[in-house]
A = this chain, B = another copy of it.
């Protein structure tokens, strides 16, 4: 269980396969996000049809509603949401620091106000693991603190805490059928990032994640952090770049040794009338699409592009029909899944550099 087979590499880009209790995850992989135990507007059947394998769910949200204990009594998250392929849960850390009102943070954990009912709640490393064990995902994440990327002093203190919490998560963990991934933090500071990568690598976990990116730093800063992490994190373990998922960032992440990506982008854009393509986006509200009989992308094989015109999608959007979000989500998620399949193929045929050049050309 949790074996990572490195199948091929081309430069720093890798093709692999990560085994989990719910099947193999071919990497590089993009994981659609099912925050509240549903990838918004898509059925599990639709997700399967567009080729999704790994999906992500949010510990913070499911802890607050419907409650991880309730999900455990209903057979765990896979059964609850009817997803029989691999699931990854985050630790709740990022959401506590971005969605909730923090009441108190100390070495032991975080007290915060629920964004749903205003009640006081507390998360600690041990509690995060207990929740994630109730949910029962294949991959679970260490509880971490996510400070703003440019505050040196805060990042120093948060890093110590994140490292201590990672050790406590590992100690608290009891289920052998879940892989705990550690998270490298350290903002934009190279020395902190190096220190963090070395520490997280030393825990010898089945996988390692890079957190705290795509939160306001420049692309150059993000790429530098990825490059130095790539040099330190063990090559024989999968690397997961958390919360990152534009086509550009996926390609650049793979070029820097990343295997796993997740992002709400494709489904969020879909709910905001925007179609994602590999090199651009279409905002389908635009009047120019009113009688456009073409699909979003005439090279795309997804259900939406095979069957519906831009004019129809625009009509659904203006008429405020739910089907708009569903059809756009199908296309947007498919686009990222197809991109990772193409990347795998390019690495397998040692043509990733050509792929990268073509991708960067206008």
Contact = CB atoms under 8 A, between A and B. Distances in A.
Interface of A: 36-38, 40-46, 61, 65-66, 70, 73-75, 80-82, 290-291, 293, 303, 307-309, 311-312, 314-316, 318-319, 321-323, 325-327
A323 B41 contact: yes
B326 A74 contact: no
In the assembly, how many copies of this chain are there?
Answer: 2
A70 B178 CA distance: 54
Contacts of A74: 291, 293, 309, 311-312
Nearest to A44: B307
A325 B323 CA distance: 11
Given A323-B42, A326-B326, A66 B315 contact: yes
A197 to B, nearest CB: 36
Contacts of A314: 66
Contacts of A45: 303
A312 B80 CA distance: 6
Contacts of A70: 290-291, 311
30 contacts: A36-B315, A36-B316, A36-B319, A36-B321, A37-B315, A38-B321, A38-B323, A41-B323, A43-B46, A43-B303, A43-B323, A43-B326, A44-B307, A65-B315, A65-B318, A65-B319, A66-B290, A66-B314, A66-B315, A70-B290, A70-B291, A73-B291, A74-B291, A74-B309, A74-B311, A80-B311, A80-B315, A81-B312, A82-B308, A322-B326
A188 B10 CA distance: 79
For A61, A291, A327, the residue with the greatest tally of chain B CB atoms inside 10 Å of its CB is A291
Given A38-B316, A44-B307, A61-B319, 14 more contacts: A40-B321, A41-B322, A42-B323, A43-B303, A45-B303, A65-B318, A65-B319, A70-B290, A75-B293, A80-B315, A82-B312, A322-B322, A322-B325, A326-B326
Contacts of A42: 323
